[in-house]
C-alpha cells in the first residue's frame, strides 16, 4: 500500500514537473526547497555587500550607512530617554533618530555587537564618520543576520501557509515563488548595498500577512504593530489590515467584542514598545504636545513635515506633476499635508470598501498592494526606497499575477537607478537584475499567463521596455544639458510613474472582480 502510494505521488510530481527545473526540489518537500533557495539568497546578499554603501567616503554627513552606525553610537552611550532629544551629546541635525522606538532598540542590540568586536566604531563623538574594513564587515553582518533571523523565517511561514490554501496553485511553484521573495533585487540592493534594515519591518509584515491567512488575527496584529514600530512607513499597509479585519469582525457573532479584542492587542503592543517613554503622564503629554524648543520629541521626529512634500525625484504624483505645478511655491506645508492625506485616502477607499464588503484572503493580498501603492503615489515625503513596500505584496501575489509582478519590478528597479548610481552599485544592480530575469523566466511554472486586464497593447509594452533600456544607457553615458541638470531623472521618474498608475488601476480592478467567480458558483449550485 505504501509502495503504491509512493508510485502515485512520484507520478504526480513527475507530471507536474515536466520541463520543470524546480521538480527535483519540490519532491524533497518545502523545507528542502526553502533551504536551497535561502542559502543561494544569502550568497547573493554577501556578494552585493562587497560593493560600496550609501555615503562611502563622502563627508561631512556621509549617508545611510553612517546614519545607522550613528544610531548605534547614540543608543549605546546615552540614556534611553535622551535618544530622541536634542542636546549637546545628541545633535539631531547630525542623523538624529527619526524612526520609531523598535528601530532604536534594534540599533542598541547591533551596537552591543559592534562594541564587542570593534569599540572604536561606536564610541561617542570620536566615531563620527568612522570607516574601516572591520567596521564595514560588522555592519554588513548586522543586516545579513537581521535578514536571516526575521525576513527569511517570515517568508517560510508565508510559503507554508499560502500553499496549504485550497486553490489552483501548483506545488511546483513553491521553489519559484520562494526565489521571487528572497531574491527581490530591490530589497537586496537597498538593504545589502545602499544599507538599511527594511528586512525587519517587511519581515514582520510578511509574518502578519501569513497569520491573517491562517485566521490568527490577534497574532497578526502583534506582528503588524511591531512592523509599524520599526518603520512608520509600514502604515502604507494599514488600510488593508484595517478593512480586512473590520470586514471579518462584522461577520462574526459578536462584532463589537471582536473589534475590542483587536484594539486591546494593538494598544498593548504599542504600550510595550513605547513603555520607556510613558513613565509618567507628564512624559506622555510632553511627547505629544511639548512646546519646549530645546527638545525634539519622538512623534515630531517620526513625521518630518518641514522637509516638504518631496525631496528627490521620486516616481509619485507630487514629483511627476511638479514639472507643471510648483506645489511647494503655490501651497503651504499645512495645505499640502491635507491635500496628500485626502488624495491617499481617496485612492485607498475602493480597495478598503471591497474588503469590508467581502473580506477574503486573496482580496486581502490585493488590498495590501493597492493601499501601499496608493501611499507611494500620493502620500507626503516619499523616498525612492519606499517602492519596497508595494513590491512586497506584489511578490506575495507573484504566482497569481506574474506579468504584473515582473512589470512592476522592472519599473521599480528603474525608479531606483539614479539612487543606485549615486551609491556606486551599478555592477550589483545589473547582476541582481539579470539574476531576477533568469529566475523569473525559469521553465516549469504552471498556470502562469499574461494578465488580461492590463491596459496597454503588446507593441506599446515592447516600446516601454525599449525606452527603459535606453534610459539606463543614457543616464550612464550622457551628461544632461546645463539648463536642465535633472532632465534624465525627470524622464525616468515620469515613465515609472505612468506605469505605477496603470498597475494601480489594474490591481484595483482585479480586486473588485474577485467576487465574480463566487457568485457564478452560487448560481450554478442553485440551478443544480
**pLDDT at residue 169, as a whole number:** 64
**pLDDT at residue 14, as a whole number:** 44
Pairwise CA distance, residues 353 & 370, whole Å:
12
Pairwise CA distance, residues 528 & 525, whole Å:
5
**pLDDT at residue 307, as a whole number:** 72
- CA angle 391/266/154 to nearest 5° reads 40
Distances in whole angstroms, Cα of residue 11 to Cα of each of 18, 141, 168, 205: 11, 44, 19, 37
**pLDDT at residue 93, as a whole number:** 87
Q: Which triple of cell numbers denotes residue 115? A: 562594541
Q: Which triple of cell numbers denotes residue 397? A: 501575489
Pairwise CA distance, residues 13 & 27, whole Å:
7
CA-only gyration radius of the chain, Å: 24
**pLDDT at residue 293, as a whole number:** 42
10-residue stretch averages of pLDDT, the chain, 528 residues long = 45 46 62 90 97 90 93 94 86 89 95 95 92 94 97 96 75 87 97 96 97 96 97 95 96 93 96 81 53 51 71 88 88 90 94 94 96 95 92 95 93 95 95 95 61 63 91 93 90 95 93 67 40
Q: What is the DSSP letter of 168?
A: S
| Torsion 274-276-280-283 (CA) sign | negative
- Give strand ranges (E) for 158-225: none
Residue pair 207/157 in contact by the 8 Å Cβ criterion: yes
Pairwise CA distance, residues 346 & 468, whole Å:
30
Q: What is the DSSP letter of 480?
A: P
Distances in whole angstroms, Cα of residue 388 to Cα of each of 54, 493, 497: 17, 16, 15
**pLDDT at residue 429, as a whole number:** 97
Sorted by sequence, the CB contacts under 8 Å of residue 336 that are 6+ apart come out as 308, 309, 327, 328, 380
Q: What is the DSSP letter of 3?
A: H
Distances in whole angstroms, Cα of residue 253 to Cα of each of 108, 191, 250, 340, 349: 45, 44, 8, 38, 26
Pairwise CA distance, residues 423 & 194, whole Å:
6
Cα–chain center distance at 222: 18
Task: Count CB neighbours of 447 within 10 A.
Answer: 12
Task: Count CB neighbours of 167 within 10 A.
Answer: 12
**pLDDT at residue 351, as a whole number:** 95
**pLDDT at residue 445, as a whole number:** 63
Residue 235 host element (H or E): none
Task: Count CB neighbours of 148 within 10 A.
Answer: 15
Pairwise CA distance, residues 226 & 100, whole Å:
10
**pLDDT at residue 218, as a whole number:** 96
To the nearest 10°, report the CA torsion of 212, 343, 201, 370: 40
Residue 422: which of 49, 47, 45, 64 has the closest Cα?
64
Place of cell 479584542: 261
Q: DSSP for 258-323?
A: HHHHHHHHHHHHHHHHHGGG-SSHHHHHHHHH---TT---HHHHH--GGG-S--S--SSHHHHHTT
CB pairs under 8 A, 24+ apart, for 157-163? 157/206, 157/207, 157/210, 158/206, 158/207, 158/209, 158/210, 158/213, 158/396, 159/30, 159/34, 160/30, 160/210, 161/210, 161/213, 161/214, 162/210, 162/213, 162/396, 163/30
| Torsion 62-64-70-72 (CA) sign | negative
Amino acid at each position: 500500500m505504501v509502495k503504491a502510494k509512493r508510485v502515485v505521488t512520484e507520478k504526480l510530481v513527475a507530471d507536474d514537473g515536466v520541463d520543470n527545473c524546480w521538480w527535483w526540489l519540490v519532491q524533497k518537500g518545502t523545507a528542502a526547497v526553502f533551504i536551497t533557495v535561502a542559502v543561494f539568497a544569502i550568497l547573493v546578499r554577501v556578494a552585493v555587500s562587497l560593493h560600496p554603501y550609501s555615503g562611502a567616503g563622502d563627508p561631512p554627513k556621509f549617508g545611510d550607512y553612517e546614519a545607522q552606525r550613528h544610531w548605534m553610537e547614540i543608543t549605546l552611550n546615552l540614556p534611553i530617554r535622551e535618544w530622541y532629544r536634542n542636546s549637546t551629546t545628541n545633535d539631531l541635525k547630525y542623523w538624529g533618530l527619526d524612526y520609531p522606538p523598535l528601530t532604536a532598540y534594534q540599533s542598541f542590540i547591533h551596537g552591543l555587537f559592534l562594541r564587542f568586536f570593534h569599540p572604536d566604531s561606536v564610541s561617542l563623538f570620536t566615531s563620527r564618520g568612522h570607516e574601516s574594513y572591520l567596521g564595514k564587515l560588522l555592519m554588513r553582518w548586522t543586516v545579513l543576520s537581521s535578514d536571516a533571523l526575521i525576513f527569511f523565517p517570515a517568508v517560510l511561514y508565508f510559503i507554508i501557509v499560502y500553499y496549504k490554501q485550497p486553490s489552483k496553485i501548483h506545488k511546483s511553484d513553491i521553489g519559484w515563488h520562494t526565489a521571487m521573495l528572497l531574491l527581490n533585487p530591490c530589497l537586496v540592493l537597498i538593504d545589502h548595498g545602499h544599507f538599511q534594515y527594511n528586512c525587519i519591518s517587511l519581515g514582520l509584515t510578511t509574518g502578519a500577512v501569513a497569520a491573517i491567512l491562517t485566521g490568527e488575527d490577534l497574532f497578526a496584529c502583534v506582528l503588524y504593530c511591531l512592523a509599524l514600530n520599526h518603520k512608520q512607513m509600514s502604515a502604507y499597509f494599514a488600510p488593508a489590515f484595517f478593512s480586512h479585519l473590520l470586514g471579518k469582525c462584522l461577520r462574526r457573532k459578536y462584532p463589537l467584542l471582536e473589534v475590542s479584542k483587536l484594539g486591546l492587542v494593538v494598544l498593548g503592543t504599542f504600550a510595550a514598545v513605547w513603555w520607556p517613554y510613558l513613565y509618567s503622564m507628564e512624559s506622555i503629554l510632553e511627547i505629544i504636545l511639548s512646546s519646549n524648543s530645546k527638545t525634539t520629541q519622538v512623534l515630531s521626529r517620526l513625521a518630518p513635515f518641514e522637509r516638504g512634500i518631496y525631496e528627490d525625484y521620486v516616481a509619485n504624483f507630487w514629483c511627476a506633476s511638479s514639472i507643471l505645478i510648483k506645489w511647494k511655491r503655490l501651497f503651504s506645508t499645512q495645505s499640502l499635508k491635507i491635500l496628500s492625506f485626502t488624495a491617499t485616502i481617496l485612492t485607498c477607499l475602493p480597495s478598503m470598501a471591497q474588503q469590508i464588503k467581502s473580506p477574503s484572503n486573496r482580496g486581502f493580498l490585493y488590498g495590501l498592494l493597492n493601499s501601499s501603492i496608493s501611499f507611494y503615489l500620493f502620500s507626503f515625503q516619499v523616498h525612492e526606497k519606499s517602492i519596497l513596500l508595494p513590491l512586497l505584496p506584489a511578490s506575495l501575489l507573484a504566482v497569481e499575477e506574474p506579468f504584473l509582478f515582473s512589470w512592476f519590478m522592472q519599473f521599480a528597479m528603474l525608479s531606483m537607478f539614479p539612487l543606485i548610481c549615486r551609491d556606486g552599485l551599478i555592477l550589483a544592480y545589473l547582476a541582481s537584475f539579470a539574476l531576477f530575469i533568469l529566475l523569473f523566466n525559469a521553465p516549469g511554472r504552471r498556470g502562469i499567463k499574461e494578465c488580461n486586464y492590463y491596459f496597454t497593447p503588446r507593441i506599446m509594452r515592447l516600446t516601454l521596455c525599449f525606452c527603459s533600456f535606453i534610459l539606463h544607457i543614457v543616464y550612464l553615458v550622457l551628461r544632461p544639458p546645463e539648463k536642465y541638470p535633472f532632465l534624465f531623472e525627470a524622464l525616468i521618474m515620469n515613465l515609472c510613474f505612468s506605469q505605477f498608475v496603470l498597475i494601480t488601476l489594474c490591481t484595483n480592478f482585479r480586486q473588485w472582480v474577485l467576487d465574480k467567480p463566487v457568485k457564478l458558483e452560487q448560481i450554478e449550485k442553485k440551478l443544480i
